[in-house]
Chain A
Amino acid sequence: MNKEILVADTVTKIYGVGTKNPVTALKDVSLTMYEGDFICVMGPSGSGKSTFINNLSTIDVPTKGKVFINGKEVRTMGENEIGQFRYKNLGFIFQEFNLLDSLTIFENIAVPLTLSNVPLKEIKERVKAVAKKLDVDVLLEKYPNECSGGQRQRAAIARALVTNPKLIVADEPTGNLDSKNSHELLQLFKKLNDEEGVSILMVTHDSMIASYSQKLLYIKDGEIAETVEKNDLSQKEYFYKIVDVNSVESQKLFVD
C-alpha cells in the first residue's frame, strides 16, 4: 500500500462567517490521497471544486475539520514550514494563469527554484530544460502579457513542474489550451504519474481530460456526490462512466 500524502477529515469551509449571509462552500468532505494517485475533481460551476483543492493544498484553511499532509495537521504547521512544503513538494497550476506580470517567463519559471535556494547555474539549466519540454523556450525573455493564452498556460505548467514536485495541484489546467495541446499535457501528467510516481489532484470540466485519471470525485453543492474509480476499465469505458455521472442531472430533467 502506498503512503498517505494528503488526508482531509470532514472538512467544512464557510465563507463570510459572522456576516449576514455566510456561504457554505464545502460540507464535511473527507478524502485520503496516496502517493501515486491521480484524482480528478468535477462538478457544476460553484459546486466547491476550487475551494476543495485550495483547502487540501494549504492555500485556504478549513472552517471545520482537519487536513493532514504527510501525517501532520496543517494547522499545527508554522508559516515557514507550510511555505517550505509548498515550494518543495507542490506544483500549482491554476485556472487563471497566475504568472507574475513584472517578471519575464524565464524568471516566472525560476521562482520556485529560487525559493528552494538552488544555485544560479542550476536554475538556468533547469528552467531551460523544462521550457523546452513545454515548448516555451522561445518565449523566455518575454513578459506574460506579450504571450498568448496558451503560451501563458504552458509557462505556468513549466513553473509547476520545474521543481519536480511530488504532488501536482491543477485547477482547469487545459482551460486555455487547444485539444492537441490539452492531450499532450495530460499525456505528460500520465507519464509523470506512471513513471515517476507523482500524485496529481486536478479539477476539470472536460470529461475526456478527466478520463486520464484513476479516480473521479463528483462534487455537488459542496459535497462529494459520487466517486468513480477506473480500476481495470479502459480509458474509453472510464470516459463513458464519467460522461454518465456528469449528465445525471440533465437526464433527470427528461425523466421528470
Chain B
Amino acid sequence: MGNFKFSMKMLKKEYKKSTVYTLTLALVTAATFLFFNIIDNTHLMDAPQQTAQWFYTTMPFSTMLSFLIIVFCAFMIIFANNFYVSRKTNEIAIMTISGSTFINVTLYLIYQNVVMTFIAFIIGLIIGSGLSMFVNQLIYSYINYQGSFFYIPMNAIFDTVVCILAILFAQLVYISGFVYRKDISYLLSQEKINVSQDERILKFPTWVYIGVYIFGIASLAMQYSSLSVIFSCFVGSMGVGGMIKYNFPRFFYIIKDRKWLADKLKLISLSNLYYSLRRAYVLVGLYAVSSSVMIAIMIMQKDNPRELITAFIGFVVVLLLLLASIIYKYIMEATTRKLFFYNLYKMGYTYKQLKGIIKQEVISFYSILLGLPMIIIFLSLIQAYIHQDITMTFIIMILVVQIVSGILACILTYISYKKNVFKVLKEGVRYE
C-alpha cells in the first residue's frame, strides 16, 4: 500500500481524533478569515473619511488588533498540531520499527495534515463568511455606517490562503524535526508519560509566581490609568500558568495528605484535576492573559466605537478559540483514562461515584480556569467603573460572556468525558 493511501486509511480509522482536530483547525481558520475581513474591508477603510474624527493615526488600532489576533490564531494552529502529533507517537514508533524511513514517516504525517487543513480551510471559510456578515452588520450598526454587509473582500480569502500556507510550512518544519529528533523508545513511552520534567531555564522559587499574581492585583488598586490596566492584567495573569504548574502540586499534595486521602471521591478527582491542569497549564495561562488583556483593551478603547467593537469581537473569538482548544485537549486526555475508570470500577466504585469524580474534576478545573483571572478582571472593571465611567451594562455584558462561555465549555467537557469513560464500563475490557 502506498504511503498516501496508508495515511488516509489511518486518518479514517482514527476518525474521532481527526474530526476533532479538523474542527479545531476549521474554527481557527474561520477566526483568521474573519479578522482578515475586518482588515481588508474597504467600506471600513472608507469610514474615517466619511465620519472623520475616529482616527488619529494612519494605522487604525483595530487593524493592529486584528493582526495580533491572526498571529494568535496561527499559534493556536501550531499548538493544536503539536498536540495532535504528540498523540501519534506510538504510530510513528511502529512505522519506524517496521522499516519506514524518516522521509516516509514525515510524508505520512504531512499527507494527513494537508488533507485535514484543506477540509478545515473549506469549512473555516464557510463559517468565517457567515460570521463576517454578522460581524459587518454589528460594526456598521455600531459606527452608524450604511453599507451592504454581504461583503467578502477577495483579499481576505487570498490573505487567509497565504496565512494557512505559511502555517502548513511551519508544520512541515515542526513535524520533520519531531520525527528526526525522537528515537523509538522515546516515542513509545510518550503517550503514557504523566510526570513532566522541570525544563525551566530560570528556576524561580515557587512563591515568585504567587507574588507576580498578587502584584498584578495590587497594582490595580494603585494609581489608575487606562494603560496601567493592561499592564496589571498582563502581569497578574502571567503568574497564573506558573502557579498552576509549580504551586498547585504542593498544595494538592498537602490537602490530600491532611484531609482528602480518606474521601473516596475527592482523593481521585483531585489527583486527576492536578494531572489535567498540569497538562493544560499553557492553555490555562494563555486564557488568563488573553481574556484579561482583551478586557483591558476594551476599557482603554471605550470612546472609539470601531476599536471597541473590534476588540469586543476579538475578545469573544479568542475566548471561544481557547475554550475549544481546552475542550479538545480534555477530550483527548479522557480517551486515555478509560482503563483508569475501569480499574476504579473493579475496585468497588459505583457508577454514581465515578460520575461524581468526573463532575468534581471538571467543575474544579473550570472554576480555576475562570476564577483565577476573574479576580483580576473584576477588579479592573470596578476600577474602570469608578475612574472611567464605563457603564454597568458593559461590565455585565463582559462578565456574562466570560462566565456563560466557561459554563457551556464545562458542560460540554463533562458530557464528552463521561461518555468516553462509561462506554468502556458498559462494554468491558477483554484481556485475552
Contact = CB atoms under 8 A, between A and B. Distances in A.
Interface of A: 15, 25, 45-51, 59-60, 79-80, 82-88, 90, 92, 94-96, 98, 100-103, 107, 110-112, 114-115, 117-120, 123-124, 143, 145-146, 171
A96 B431 contact: yes
A103 B195 CA distance: 11
B127 to A, nearest CB: 36
Q: Chain B, interface size: which category? A: 20 to 34
Nearest to A118: B262
Interface of B: 192-195, 256, 259, 261-264, 267-268, 271-272, 274-275, 339-340, 343-344, 346-353, 428, 430-432
A102 B262 contact: no
A59 B346 contact: yes
A98 B259 contact: no
Contact of A143 (B195, B262, B346, B431): B195
B347 A95 contact: no
A84 B350 CA distance: 9
A94 B352 CA distance: 24
Given A60-B428, A110-B267, A111-B267, A98 B262 contact: no
A101 B191 CA distance: 12
A101 B348 contact: no
A251 to B, nearest CB: 24
B195 A145 contact: yes
Contact of A102 (B263, B274, B352, B428): B274
Contact of A120 (B262, B264, B272, B274): B262
A45 B343 CA distance: 22
Contacts of B349: 83, 115
Contacts, number: 101
A48 B431 CA distance: 10
A83 B432 contact: no
A110 B344 contact: no
A148 to B, nearest CB: 13
Chain A CB count within 10 A is highest, among B195, B275, B432, for: B432
Contacts of B261: 107, 110, 114, 120, 123-124
B432 A50 contact: yes
B194 A102 contact: yes
Contact of B343 (A85, A87, A98): A98
30 contacts: A25-B430, A45-B432, A49-B432, A50-B431, A50-B432, A59-B346, A79-B351, A80-B350, A82-B348, A83-B353, A85-B348, A87-B348, A90-B348, A92-B346, A94-B431, A96-B431, A98-B339, A100-B268, A100-B343, A101-B194, A102-B194, A102-B340, A110-B261, A112-B347, A114-B262, A114-B267, A120-B259, A120-B261, A124-B261, A171-B431
Given A85-B348, A115-B349, 11 more contacts: A15-B430, A45-B432, A48-B432, A86-B346, A94-B346, A102-B272, A107-B261, A112-B347, A115-B264, A115-B348, A145-B195
Contacts of A110: 261, 267
B347 A86 contact: yes
Contacts of B344: 100, 111
A67 to B, nearest CB: 15
A86 B261 CA distance: 20
A100 B271 contact: yes
B431 A102 contact: no
Contacts of A98: 339, 343, 346
A128 to B, nearest CB: 13
A85 B261 CA distance: 21
A136 B268 CA distance: 21
Nearest to B353: A83
A120 B272 CA distance: 20
Contacts of A94: 346, 431
Contacts of A145: 192-195
Contacts of B347: 86-87, 92, 111-112, 115
B194 A103 contact: no
A103 B271 contact: yes
A143 B192 CA distance: 12
Contacts of B259: 120
A41 B110 CA distance: 49
A48 B430 CA distance: 10
